[in-house]
């Protein structure tokens, strides 16, 4: 009886030790991540400014959608989409890449596209209405990717998920699809068959990109053991 109790206490002690070491390592990783940001020479770069502009434009685009101002929505969305193209390009060309920019850029993309899709889903457009299941699918996908990225950065602050072809194509197609919708609304077009084919293609690309990113994360966890 007593030796079982002593064995149980020793096992509990080992478990607690593992938990404390993991929490300590997690805190050190978080501190290391923050320190890397503060090691940037300057946060005031053109690329970081463009990334911030995309974040600030996201609710403005969503508001224009709710008002049914399709010309304004198209122009603002196109400007915000151009910042996504230019921020990374200028950072590489001008040699102004920062740790802060590397953290902000993917989150800015997610905020930008999610707000646009949800504004389109919640707005009562008479034609080519974004179904709620598609908006929920995009939201859950991005939520899973964000949680996975945060977990991997906590476990290993040096871990970087390099953009894959499926992810790049998905972001590109989503932006083109939304701009196409604005043009359709503005000119009064309603190509229903093209609309549903595009939704299926977008769903397929989004799902394949999610699976590929999950495979990368599981492989990284397996290699770190």
Asked if residue 161 lies in contact with residue 103, where contact means CB atoms within 8 angstroms, the answer is: no
pTM reported for the whole predicted model: 0.74
Answer whether residue 8 is part of any domain.
Answer: no
Answer whether residue 141 is part of any domain.
Answer: yes
Helices 165-187/192-224 angle, 10° precision: 160
Is residue 30's pLDDT more than 70? no
Answer whether residue 53 is part of any domain.
Answer: yes
pLDDT (tens digit per residue) in 32-53: 444 555 455 555 677 878 888 9
pLDDT recorded at residue 217: 77
Answer whether residue 18 is part of any domain.
Answer: no
196: CATH: 1.20.120.1760
Count of structural domains within the chain: 1
Answer whether residue 111 is part of any domain.
Answer: yes
Give residue 145's pLDDT band: very low, low, confident or very high (50, 70, 90).
Answer: confident
pLDDT (tens digit per residue) in 182-206: 888 888 888 989 999 999 999 999 9
Answer whether residue 22 is part of any domain.
Answer: no
173-177 CB contacts, 8 Å cutoff, 24+ apart: 173/201, 173/202, 173/205, 174/113, 174/117, 174/202, 174/206, 175/77, 175/81, 175/84, 175/113, 177/202
pLDDT recorded at residue 128: 80
> Residue 97 sits in which domain range?
40-224
Give residue 126's pLDDT band: very low, low, confident or very high (50, 70, 90).
Answer: low
Asked if residue 127 lies in contact with residue 185, where contact means CB atoms within 8 angstroms, the answer is: yes
Answer whether residue 202 is part of any domain.
Answer: yes
More confident residue, 33 or 59: 59
93-112 average pLDDT score? 77
Q: Which of 180, 110, 99 is nearest to 142 (CA)?
A: 110
Answer whether residue 167 is part of any domain.
Answer: yes
> 73-87, 95-109, 178-192: lowest mean pLDDT where?
95-109
Average pLDDT, the chain: 76
């Amino acid at each position: 009886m007593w030796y079982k109790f002593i064995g149980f206490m020793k096992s509990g002690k080992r478990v607690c030790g593992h938990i404390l070491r993991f929490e300590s390592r997690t805190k050190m990783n978080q501190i290391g991540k923050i320190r890397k940001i503060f090691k940037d020479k300057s946060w005031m770069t053109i690329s970081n400014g463009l990334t911030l502009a995309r974040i600030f434009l996201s609710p403005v685009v969503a508001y224009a959608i709710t008002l049914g101002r399709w010309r304004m929505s198209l122009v603002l969305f196109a400007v915000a989409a151009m910042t996504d193209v230019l921020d990374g390009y200028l950072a590489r060309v001008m040699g102004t890449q920062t740790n802060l920019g590397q953290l902000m850029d993917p989150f800015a993309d997610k905020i930008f596209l999610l707000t646009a899709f949800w504004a389109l889903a919640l707005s009562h457009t008479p034609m080519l209405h974004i179904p709620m299941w598609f908006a929920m699918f995009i939201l859950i996908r991005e939520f899973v990717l964000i949680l996975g990225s945060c977990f991997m950065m906590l476990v290993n602050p040096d871990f970087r998920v390099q953009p894959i072809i499926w992810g790049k194509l998905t972001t590109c197609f989503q932006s083109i699809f939304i701009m196409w919708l604005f043009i359709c609304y503005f000119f009064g077009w309603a190509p229903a068959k093209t609309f549903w084919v595009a939704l299926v293609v977008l769903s397929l690309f989004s799902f394949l990109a999610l699976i590929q990113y999950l495979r990368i994360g599981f492989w990284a966890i397996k290699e770190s053991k």
